[in-house]
Each structure stands twice: as structure tokens, then as C-alpha cells.
Amino acid sequence: MKGGRLARPFRLFRSPFETFRAARRSAVVWAVFLLTLTSWPRPPRVPILSGIPNFDKLVHGVLYGVEAFLLYWSVQWPGRPRFSLLRALAIIGAMAVWGVADETHQAWIPGRSMEGGDVAADVAGAAAGALVASALSGRRGVKTSA
């Protein structure tokens, strides 16, 4: 009992509205994390990883894949409770615009550069993230619209 009220018990399952809100919060937090990473002037090099060819492209793909996955679960899409290729394509398109804007933004950050290969990796990662989220929503029969 806290302050005269019963403590809220841990719930394993959330209502669709709570899940939607949690997904939206997670997407916003991850987006701020991405913006912070890409705004960091002259990021430190990790010697072991810097030697791997195109490792930064893999990092771009993973970061944008996570954001697309979170966005898929946080966007309401009327009439599409399960697998939706159109929804996934909308998320991929939005992430492509974000990738181009992010690379353009990096042109003004000291120690950063604008690269088309990074945009391609961003879009590939976003496609993987959105399609995985869409496939999971269809396979598990989870309703992703609130």
C-alpha cells in the first residue's frame, strides 16, 4: 500500500491502448537517440570495428531497422490489424525521407560527411525492420491498430 492506495500489480499483458502508447514512446526515444548519434561531431573510432569494411553501413541498417520496427507498432492504420505491405511501405518511405534528411544534416556537423551509401543502408534496414514487424503482426494475429 502506497499513500493509502494499493500498489498497482504487475500485469503481464497490456491493453492495446497501453501497448500502442508504449510503442509510440519507444519510437520517440529511439528517434532522439538516432538524432543524438548523428549530431555527435567527430565520433570516436573503435579500432577493432573501424577495420571491418563497411561496418558503418551495418550499424546504419540496424539503427534504422529498429526505428522502423518501433514505428510500425506505433502508427495506427485503419482496417489493417494484421500483415500489411502497404503499411510497411509507408514506414519505409518515411524512413527513407528521414535518412536523406539525416545525411543532409550531417553535412554541417564537423567530422561527419554525407554519403549515399548510408542512405541506402538506412532504407535497407528500415525495410527489414518494417517487414519483420509486419510479418510478426500477421503471424501472431496481433492487432496493431488501437
Grid cell in block for residue 20:
500502442
* pLDDT at residue number 49: 77
Is 82 domain-assigned? yes
Instruction: Report the 3 state secondary structure along 43-93.
Output: CCCCHHHHCCCCHHHHHHHHHHHHHHHHHHHHCCCCCCCCCCHHHHHHHHH
Give the N- to C-terminal CA distance of the chain in Å, as an integer. Answer: 32
Q: State the CB neighbour count (10 A cutoff) for residue 23.
A: 20
State how far Cα 36 lies from the chain centre. Answer: 14
Is 20 domain-assigned? yes
Is 4 domain-assigned? no
Question: Structural domain of residue 131, as residue ranges?
Answer: 16-41+55-140
Each residue's pLDDT tens digit in the chain (146 positions)? 555 555 554 444 555 566 778 888 999 999 999 999 888 887 777 777 777 888 889 999 999 999 999 999 888 776 656 777 888 899 999 999 999 999 999 888 888 888 899 999 999 999 999 999 888 876 654 454 44
Our count of domains for the chain comes to: 1
